[in-house]
Structure 1
Amino acid sequence: MSTLAPRTPSPDAASVDAPSLDGPLADLAETIRGQVLLPGSDAYLAAATPWNVAVPATPVAVVAAADASDVAAAVRFADAHDLDVDVRATGHGALAHARPSLLVYTGDLDEITIDPVRRQARVGAGVRWQQVLDAAAVHGLGAPAGSAPHVGVVGYLTGGGLSPVARGFGYGSDLVTAFDVVTGDGVPRRATATENPALFWGLRGGKGALGVVTAVEFELLDVQEIYGGCLYFDGADADRVVSAWKTWSAGLPEQATTSVAVLRLPPMPAVPAPLAGRCTVAVRFAWVGDPTEGERLIDPLRGLAPVVFGGVGILPFPKIGMIHADPVDPMPVHEQAVLLRELPDTAVRTLLSLTGPAADCPQVIVELRLLGGALAREPREPSAVCHRDAAYSLLTIGIAAPPLAAATTRHATEVMAAMEPWSGGLGAPNFGATADPALVARKYDAATLSRLATLTASYDPNARIAAAHPIRAAAATRASS
């Protein structure tokens, strides 16, 4: 157990604004270009607090890295002082950890380089997708961003990455060509298909288990605009809309990506008035191709019921986040997710009985995404992203704060159990962040999980990377069962 104990000033000290560095942490601060931040300072709080504020975050200290060498120094320091290494940039997908930890904050690694000739980008670990979308658009290119462009590039890509145009281009991780990473032994490495190829395989899908990524390189998309948007219907029409969406979406070509969500958005300033404080159903749609064909494809859904808000039209690619309009501000949330192998009428009825307008449903969002298309194909270079034959993803998001937290968690578990006949409990790394080894195991097939665990042991012999602990525990449990 680490015995590091940062010294804080006494109440009658001349300054009580922040704690003071002392001992080994002071020595660490002398060796890096960035900063070492201690509990009690505003900078520590800003760096350590995750986007999901329901996740506790109390690291011994935060290393706000200025470059990759700072990251390597931090990992080596953690190893020397028996600390786990946690990583944060935007704070999405954060997990609680039981052991004392050193948090490596990578939000200041803000490099963005666009190569328009090779149609590639190189970005630092602190870069968010909207920054890449805007930079690529200058050259008439798009980027494989997710539904929430305010999230970080690295966390998204290491977990697979499901874009609003994913059926046409595959998982975001399939487009990655290189990582710069500091592994758990404190060694900076480069991983590509030919340099450290096993590490490259595991970084795409391993969700941070193999080290602290400091930069990533990936292919850009030859797309300047899409035909897309969102149609919102009254919740009273949920049965008709969701059932029709299920039938309609099954016949879509892979240039089309779509999802449907039952929403119960609270009355807040950021929520449009027609959607606030009521149950609605959102049909999201993105088409990469001739807008006329996209309009023809979405037209059958427009007439299902009165549209209470939204619309579909030509969107500049950097505006892709408007399709899902995911919340930007930090909040306490509880997520659960599974992948569905099929979605028969019985499954739709089961889901709506628990989440439709007549249900006592505490979830803010219950979403189904159509998978398939390019997502179902193996990438040029194999990766740790599994379950590519899944047909849909199912996600629930609810408020994880009193007095709703207990009901939200209980109801989400009930929903996932009810959908078990069509899912088998399969999951994906980027949805339903969890440290529960049993749930982590469901995100991978047996061979992939075993290989990931072996790689973490090879590159992190002292088990410093906190994200690797659930992987190792899941693999050990599966091996013994």
Structure 2
Amino acid sequence: MATDTDFQQLAEEVDGPVLRPTDPGYDAECFTYNLLTPLRPVVAVGATSPGDVQAAIRFAARFGLAVAIRGGGHMQPYTAQDALLVTLDRLSGVTVDVDRATARVTGAARWSEVIDATTPYGLAPMSGSSTTVAVIGYALGGGQSPIFGRPHGYASDHVRSFDIVTADAQLRTVSAEAEPELFAALRGGKGNFGVVTAMEIALFRVTSVFAGGIYFPASQIKEVLHTWRDWAARLPKQATTSVAIQNLPPIDEYPEVLHGSHVVHVRYAYLGPAATGRALLEPMRGVGTRLLDTIAQQPYREAAALHNDPVGPIPYQDRSLGLAALPDEALETLVGLTGLGSGSLLASIELRALGGALDRVPARPDFVPSRGLPYQLFAFGVGDGALIPVLHDQLERLFAAMRPWADLKHRRMLNFLSPEEALDPHTLSEVYGADNYDRLLAIKQRFDPHTMFRMNHTVRPRQA
């Protein structure tokens, strides 16, 4: 067990703060996006450089501590109990190479920071549905962009290299040419193999997009869902769409017409001429009454926020399921559990239509398990105190009811796994498939033989 002297020596070895539970600043260092999963590590190290990360890992190895990693936004470990927590905010940065159309992203940099850095050069990154999420953690789980996903595949397909500190405290630059096995594992392997301190990604020469959303009243859920399913199935791969049944809070982030409303939100992006995107959209614009329609040609900076995801810390629970199909019975089940009169308190129940380049075999091997999946279902509820068991029960009922249409191969998007699922080797084995899980485990045992990194999406022997 580490002594006060040992912690003091660690503090002298790193440039960033080293904070224990009784130290001022500890709570702020350990903040989380999900207020229901607070982090209480043995010690938190605010890394300012890869050298700080190396020192933290050497300390953890010396005293047998697990290492948890907190990036930015949603990218947090599910627990840091009895662990050393490395935070990466002070290491954040973005450097753009205009000629090569790439960006080097470091630490906990968010997508908003990359967008700010690339926009002046007429370039855009493959950002996710939330611009406040950390870029590196997003790409480690694959990353499905609501604009570039169906046209260009997963974000991890467009990663050129990673800088990672592994469990032996070595800083490695990993690419398709250097350590190709580890490079494959990092693209889809989440936080299993070390602390990724930097990543180089490809950018796209895009300045504006025909994109946005249409909000319909909850009274039209049935008609909207049936129309959306049939319409989405006919879209070319240049178009990406999702639909969400939402109970919106009365906050200033939403226009007044949506305050406290029960709505259906259709999201849409077309990567091509606006006139073509507009013509493809007509079937959805012809449905019922539109409360708000924001779909237009707009700068990428605005288009990237088309999902209108929550931006601040909230107390939430979530669940996800990959769906093989959406027959009428599945949609009727969804309407019955989430529509008017259902009593649903869930903040959002989302269906993402996948396909297109998201099904494409990558040029380099990886471990993204959701290729070939037609739909991703994701839902979350916001609330604490007495609402916690209520929301839990509603999520459980919803996903039990939708399970008859689940993907038979158990495929799901890694970034949507709940804490209980991500920490369960049996669930992860199902999601990856037994063969890929065993391959990941072999790589894990090579680079992290003592399972130092076990706080998030943990690959470990199934009997453990």
What is the TM-score with the length of structure 1 in the denominator?
A: 0.92
Q: What does 1:407-446 correspond to in 2, within 5 Å?
A: 407-424=390-407, 425-434=410-419, 435-446=423-434
Per-residue deviation at 1:443?
2.6
Structure 2 partner of 1:37: 19
Letter matched to residue 286 of structure 2: G
SS at match of 2:225: helix
**Aligned partners of 1:189 and 1:468: how far apart in 2?**
21
1:465 matches 2:453: yes
Per-residue deviation at 1:322?
2.8
Q: Is the 8 A contact 2:210 2:297 kept in 1?
A: yes
SS at match of 1:299: helix
Q: Is the 8 A contact 1:264 1:279 kept in 2?
A: yes
Per-residue deviation at 1:122?
0.7
**Aligned partners of 1:445 and 1:152: how far apart in 2?**
27
Structure 1 partner of 2:167: 184
Q: What does 1:18-37 correspond to in 2, within 5 Å?
A: 22-37=4-19
Structure 2 partner of 1:194: 177
Alignment partner for residue 101 of structure 1, among 83, 87, 91? 83
Letter matched to residue 314 of structure 1: Q
Greater CA drift, 443-452 or 189-198: 443-452
Structure 2 partner of 1:293: 276
1:123 matches 2:105: yes
Per-residue CA shift, 1:17-44, capped at 9, x if unaligned?
A: xxxxx31111011111222122244532
Pair 1:468–1:305, CA change in 2 (3 A): closer
Per-residue deviation at 1:116?
1.3
1:69 matches 2:51: yes
Structure 2 partner of 1:163: 145
Per-residue deviation at 1:163?
0.7
Aligned pair count reads 458
Per-residue deviation at 1:329?
0.7
Per-residue deviation at 1:476?
4.2
Structure 2 partner of 1:341: 324
**Aligned partners of 1:339 and 1:45: how far apart in 2?**
36
Structure 2 partner of 1:456: 444
Q: Is the 8 A contact 1:119 1:219 kept in 2?
A: yes
Per-residue CA shift, 1:386-413, capped at 9, x if unaligned?
A: 1311001100010241221112112212
Pair 1:457–1:400, CA change in 2 (3 A): farther
Per-residue deviation at 1:357?
2.1
**Aligned partners of 2:64 and 2:228: how far apart in 1?**
52
**Aligned partners of 1:96 and 1:122: how far apart in 2?**
27
Per-residue deviation at 1:351?
1.5
Structure 2 partner of 1:9: none
Pair 1:437–1:95, CA change in 2 (3 A): farther
SS at match of 1:394: strand
Per-residue deviation at 1:349?
1.2
Structure 2 partner of 1:209: 192
1:270 matches 2:253: yes
**Aligned partners of 1:404 and 1:271: how far apart in 2?**
23
Per-residue CA shift, 1:166-193, capped at 9, x if unaligned?
A: 1111110010010000112222111100
Alignment partner for residue 226 of structure 1, among 179, 184, 209? 209
Alignment partner for residue 132 of structure 2, among 147, 150, 159? 150
Per-residue CA shift, 1:215-234, capped at 9, x if unaligned?
A: 00111112111001000000
Q: Is the 8 A contact 2:428 2:457 kept in 1?
A: no
Q: What does 1:76-91 correspond to in 2, within 5 Å?
A: 76-91=58-73
Per-residue CA shift, 1:118-141, capped at 9, x if unaligned?
A: 111111022110111121111111
**Aligned partners of 1:439 and 1:358: how far apart in 2?**
34
SS at match of 2:432: coil
Structure 1 partner of 2:371: 388
**Aligned partners of 1:311 and 1:269: how far apart in 2?**
17
Per-residue deviation at 1:323?
0.8
Structure 2 partner of 1:247: 230
Q: Is the 8 A contact 1:123 1:216 kept in 2?
A: yes
Greater CA drift, 29-38 or 141-150: 29-38
Pair 1:339–1:54, CA change in 2 (3 A): same
Alignment partner for residue 374 of structure 1, among 332, 342, 357? 357
SS at match of 1:417: helix
- Consecutive unaligned residues of structure 1, counting only runs of 5 or more, are 6-21
Q: Is the 8 A contact 2:241 2:352 kept in 1?
A: yes
SS at match of 2:292: strand
**Aligned partners of 1:229 and 1:41: how far apart in 2?**
45
Per-residue deviation at 1:468?
6.3
Alignment partner for residue 138 of structure 1, among 120, 132, 136? 120
Sequence identity of aligned pairs in percent?
37
SS at match of 1:230: strand
SS at match of 2:458: helix
- Consecutive unaligned residues of structure 2, counting only runs of 5 or more, are none
Per-residue deviation at 1:278?
2.5
What is the TM-score with the length of structure 2 in the denominator?
A: 0.95
Per-residue deviation at 1:276?
2.3
**Aligned partners of 1:372 and 1:140: how far apart in 2?**
27
